[in-house]
Amino acid sequence: MNGNLIDCRFLTKSAVKTIVKKAEEYKSKFMNGALIPEFPGKTVFNLFLEPSTRTRCSFEMAAKRLGMMPINIYGSFSSITKGETLEDTILNLSKMHPSAFVIRHQSSGICYRLAEVTDIPIINAGDGTHAHPSQALLDLFTILEKKRRIEGLNISIIGDILSSRVARSDAELFVKMGCNVTLFGPATMLPDYPFVSNTKIAGSMEEAIADKDVIVLLRIQLERKSGGNISSLGEYHRYFGIKKELLKKKTLILHPGPFNRGVELSSDIVDSDNTEIFNQVENGVFVRMAIFWWLLNRQSAS
Ligand code: CP
């Protein structure tokens, strides 16, 4: 398990700080025009078996900035369409000696299964409703960059909590780093069991927003049949959508994307000073470079 990044539960605080510090270093170097080809010739297989824009491009960009050779595999063009199992695909590709696999898949927990069939490090790029650790790390990085601290911050995560791997990974990481985490959304989208320890569920939108340093918004996961949990997208916006007039000046708005204007947030939020949405995308590349660095160094040390 140590050579992988599958969810945030097994990340130590020290590992989180190491990755964040390295990402800061990479960002600073890149913004000053430096080239950072630290891992020339290392290959990474990016297997995206569920749609993605940000995560897929960000991992590919991160690998290229480090001088690595990313090889992209898409489900519809792979031999999975001929009946090969994903386990056998990983077994075969492992024999080409890549340095890492980056995997996006609709099945929760699939990366744990794949880690049993290969010794090559696996990076979970989002599996079903389970986890999205690189998103949580880049969210943390973005908050730290703006607030200059993380411990003691009040953070709300609002939306389709039950279906969201980002909600789970963000909550796990933020709690680990000492934040007070509140969850909110329609009752049909909230867990009625302990979702992540030491989080609380707000009783109203006012409570979810009040005195928050950061609000993470989530889209409704229509591809996971979440549409049946609300009466309509318009109704959702009316009761759970964030509008500019509800926010305090210093509240940061994060969203993992893709966002839907007029549903979980009004369009003026996207263009406001509160939003960190595009900074998240920018920072994602530096954080994923740091994740590669962290895993490849651990691999060579073992
Ligand atoms: N944040 C995120 O996972 O976006 P994509 O689905 O576009 O990768």
Residue 228: per-residue pLDDT: 85
- Is beta strand 252-254 parallel, antiparallel or unpaired with respect to 122-127? unpaired
Residue 287: per-residue pLDDT: 98
- Number of the ligand 1 atom closest to the C-alpha atom of 55: 8
Question: CB–CB of 5/129 below 8 Å?
Answer: no
**CATH code for the structural domain at 134-280:** 3.40.50.1370
Q: Best substitution site from 47, 55, 130, 285 to test ligand 1's pocket, by max atoms within 8 Å of Cβ?
A: 55
Q: CA 20, CA 49: separation in Å to the nearest integer?
A: 28
> Does 109 sit in the ligand 1 pocket, CB within 6 Å?
no
Question: CB–CB of 21/291 below 8 Å?
Answer: no
Residue 39: per-residue pLDDT: 97
Instruction: For residue 265, list its beta bridge partners.
Output: 242, 261
> Does 280 sit in the ligand 1 pocket, CB within 6 Å?
no
Residue 299: per-residue pLDDT: 75
> Does 53 sit in the ligand 1 pocket, CB within 6 Å?
yes
> Does 133 sit in the ligand 1 pocket, CB within 6 Å?
no
CA of 302 to the centre of ligand 1 (A): 32
Residue whose Cα lies nearest atom 3 of ligand 1: it is 55
- Number of the ligand 1 atom closest to the C-alpha atom of 58: 8
Low-confidence ranges of the chain (pLDDT < 70): 1-2, 301-302
Residue 302: per-residue pLDDT: 62
Residue 1: per-residue pLDDT: 44
Domain 8-132+284-301, second-level architecture: 3-Layer(aba) Sandwich (3.40)
Instruction: For residue 5, list its beta bridge partners.
Output: 123
> Does 126 sit in the ligand 1 pocket, CB within 6 Å?
yes
Please provide residue 44's backbone torsions phi and psi, each rounded to the nearest 5 degrees. Answer: -135, 135
Q: Best substitution site from 52, 106, 137, 142 to test ligand 1's pocket, by max atoms within 8 Å of Cβ?
A: 52
List every span in the chain annotated with CATH 3.40.50.1370.
Answer: 8-132+284-301, 134-280
Tokens of 290: 């740091």
pTM of the model: 0.96
Residue whose Cα lies nearest atom 5 of ligand 1: it is 52
